[in-house]
Amino acid sequence: MAHIGTRFFTWRNGKLVGEDQFGNRYYEDRRGSGRRWVVYKGTVEASKVPSQWNAWLHRTTDKVPDAKADLRDWEKLHQPNLTGTPHAYRPAGHVTRGAKRAAATGDYEAWSPEG
């Protein structure tokens, strides 16, 4: 949720440019200063900005992303950073997955500067 100061600034100075699939709204300065910003829906988390909108925000492109544009064959849907959430990746051996790891194979040799 945007802070009251951000909401006021956006109301006074912003021109809505678009919205992404997560409900984040993107603005630019209506006076033409070139300033661009995002008002997040929900938690303010930069990883919630899809790559196309990130490129627009950072002026890599001036083309406003199309919300209905089809993904290329090699593209996956954007997924925010899930670290610290119940959906975060936890490999085998992680504490929350039973802390059981495969036994070491014994093929490791420590490096020695004399050797």
Examine the pLDDT at 27 and tell me if it is beyond 90. yes
* Strands laid side by side in the 14-19 sheet: 14-19, 25-29, 36-39
Q: In terms of pLDDT, which residue wins out, 62 or 92?
A: 62
Q: What is the pLDDT of residue 115?
A: 58
pTM of the model: 0.68
The arithmetic mean of pLDDT across residues 29-42, rounded, is 91
